[in-house]
Structure 1
């Protein structure tokens, strides 16, 4: 891909108003996927990433393009600064969040899954690891490790010296390496495990569920205080299987591509109820991420309503 990005399909484009603004619009749209993904990886929210892009566009539209030597770098700098502002606000909100907080699921196009590094960087598992970083560390890690910007560019974006950015990048890499899943799993392996999981839930056979779940599997459910969800992680194959077994009779499961990986969209009574992403290691499901908070499902709701 010429611009590595998560290719969101629900995009609000900046208006073109002739002359200089057309040039600004052209530059912004050329890098839009990249900018969206930078914001999304920093925030874990598609809705907030879209808001950041709108704010970034307003600032970009007021820039004298004749003074800009590298439009891509300038746009990344604007977007990063806007995302950092919003990230600090979101951090305060998360302190009072009810139950586990999960990233907002993002429907992604097949070519995102083909870019292994990009798919890994937007996965639920990785976004949860990034949540453990401070705002500046998160920005530096995303810009350096995912998008391979040089230290001088990152320093401009985060308002630090290049030397400080090198130190922050080193700390962030070590922090992430200690927490990210160790095993690299192919999309085919994940699909196979997910198909077995879906069949087990569809049939309601408890033993089939136990066969596909790792003994120490962890289920995180995000209801945000608005939908029924466990307020603590559910740990262990037996406990997780019991929760899923109760879900089976009413649920309709459909595979989808979410955050660069195979996942399931769960409907109950024809209505979108849950988006469930999985982490697979050794052919077994080791992590389940169930997003039920309606606010976090609005983006997927729009996309699936259009595509159905």
Structure 2
């Protein structure tokens, strides 16, 4: 008996990119996303062949399983993040075109994630404020365009309830989201910011930061970093110039972080910080600095160059 095209191993493997994209947006973590996708594949291949052959759409089956796994992970993540040392920031996503190619045969979930507005750090941070059910319903419907009857089968709620969840989540996004400035403008502001930081020019830093700017750092308790949110452009500028004075060997690189211009700090060729930014009217309003080395694994070690 021939294998149905949908059940062909190459077709099943071809779903991995879609599943990783979905799981990263649901969890905000490449590591957890890859674990969820791998678990779904493990369940698929653990089924008897006859049972797999009876599944009309393996892609839909895998999507359902990954979404349910992510729903469970999000529920337990709330408890784990209450015990997390310091602030928790979503895992930053690199642009692989800006880094050396992975060794032959090596794969990384970051290579499979498509960068668009739904992986913008500001967007992911808003997703973190949602309940697990809100997040799953919203991402499946508004980002991946699944219908509410389809989402209902995934999350185990009525289509009407799923519509309500997505609507509630959408209001959160609308409340916090602002139009992103043109990329050229972002690049220009961050280049000035980088140069001022390197030179310890506090006056220029203050001018580039919104007076009500907020900076959050995530070290996960594994590296030293400020554990409280720093509020106010002047306070952030003072903190950054202090750090620059303590680390004269720090090299700052202009890199794409979650699809938008950002900065990467390296010491001895090793990435030690990845910073994402939010700008409003040409000034920096938010900085998310990820220093937790477990979240920097996709940012491969490479010789530093501007």
| Same fold at TM > 0.5 | yes
Deviations 1:260-307 (A, max 9, x none): 11211101344321111111111111111100111211232xx34499
| Counterpart in the other structure of 1:134 | 131
Given the alignment, which residue of 22, 29, 52 partners 2:13? 29
Matched, 1:56 2:43: no
Contact 2:251 2:304 in 1 (8 A): no
Contact 2:6 2:57 in 1 (8 A): no
| Counterpart in the other structure of 2:60 | 73
> Which shifted more, 257-266 or 137-146?
257-266
Deviations 1:4-25 (A, max 9, x none): xxxxxxxxxxxxxxx6899453
Q: CA RMSD in A?
A: 2.5
Alpha-carbon distance, 1:257 to partner:
1.8
Aligned residue pair count: 282
In structure 2, C-alpha distance between the alignment counterparts of 1:306 and 1:35, rounded to whole Å = 32
Given the alignment, which residue of 43, 57, 78 partners 1:91? 78
In structure 2, C-alpha distance between the alignment counterparts of 1:91 and 1:26, rounded to whole Å = 36
In structure 2, C-alpha distance between the alignment counterparts of 1:169 and 1:22, rounded to whole Å = 30
| Counterpart in the other structure of 1:236 | 232
In structure 1, C-alpha distance between the alignment counterparts of 2:95 and 2:159, rounded to whole Å = 33
Q: So what's the TM-score if we normalise by structure 1?
A: 0.84
Report the CA distance shift for 1:33/1:268 in structure 2 as closer, same or farther (over 3 A). Answer: same
Report the CA distance shift for 1:305/1:31 in structure 2 as closer, same or farther (over 3 A). Answer: farther
Given the alignment, which residue of 173, 185, 210 partners 1:176? 173
Find the residue that maps to 1:231 and give its secondary structure: coil
In structure 1, C-alpha distance between the alignment counterparts of 2:181 and 2:251, rounded to whole Å = 26
Gaps of 5+ in 1: 1-18, 111-116
| Counterpart in the other structure of 1:47 | 31
Gaps of 5+ in 2: 98-113
Find the residue that maps to 1:250 and give its secondary structure: coil
Q: So what's the TM-score if we normalise by structure 2?
A: 0.84
| Counterpart in the other structure of 2:119 | 122
| Counterpart in the other structure of 1:113 | none
Please say which structure displays the higher CA radius of gyration: 2
In structure 2, C-alpha distance between the alignment counterparts of 1:173 and 1:118, rounded to whole Å = 20
Matched, 1:164 2:166: no
Contact 2:254 2:262 in 1 (8 A): yes
| Counterpart in the other structure of 2:104 | none
| Counterpart in the other structure of 1:250 | 249
In structure 2, C-alpha distance between the alignment counterparts of 1:81 and 1:305, rounded to whole Å = 37
In structure 1, C-alpha distance between the alignment counterparts of 2:56 and 2:6, rounded to whole Å = 18
Deviations 1:155-201 (A, max 9, x none): 1111212121111111111122222x222322222222211111111
